[in-house]
């Protein structure tokens, strides 16, 4: 158990949950200057707080994540390699 800041700003006891990635889509875009940008959100931790949402009554989760961004100029275009993203299974 750890202490995590809840939606109301107060610290609450939370349980770290294991998870597995079911799918991992990336967002790819090409800018008008030919630059290609690939973005993947990497989930690092998931916590279930002890409390429940006051409106829905559903459990409250805190998801920690970080963006992975790759920028390729039009002369350097190549596939984005997601091999560095663990599947956490």
Residue 29 burial class via C-beta count within 10 angstroms: exposed 0-12, middle 13-18, buried 19 and up: exposed
Domain membership of residue 89 (yes or no) is no
At 58 the pLDDT is 94
Give the tokens for residue 65. Answer: 């994540």
Rg (CA), the chain: 18
Nearest 5°: CA angle at 9, between 6 and 11?
60
Q: Is residue 82 part of a domain?
A: no
Q: How many domains does the chain have?
A: 1
Residue 29 lies in a domain: yes
Q: Is residue 81 domain-resident?
A: no
pLDDT < 50 stretches in the chain? 77-86, 89
Domain assignment of residue 44, given as a range:
2-76
pLDDT tens digit sequence for 15-31: 888 888 777 778 889 88
The reply to whether 63 falls in a domain is yes
What per-residue confidence (pLDDT) applies to 74? 64
**pTM of the predicted model as reported, rounded to 2 decimal places:** 0.61
Residue 60: inside a domain: yes
């Amino acid at each position: 158990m750890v202490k995590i800041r809840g939606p109301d700003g107060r610290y609450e006891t939370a349980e770290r949950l294991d998870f597995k990635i079911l799918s991992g889509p990336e967002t790819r875009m090409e800018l008008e200057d030919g630059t290609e940008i690939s973005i993947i959100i990497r989930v690092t931790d998931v916590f279930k707080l002890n409390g429940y949402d006051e409106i829905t009554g559903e459990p409250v989760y805190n998801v920690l994540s970080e963006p992975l961004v790759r920028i390729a100029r039009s002369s350097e275009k190549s596939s984005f390699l997601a091999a560095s993203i663990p599947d956490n299974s």
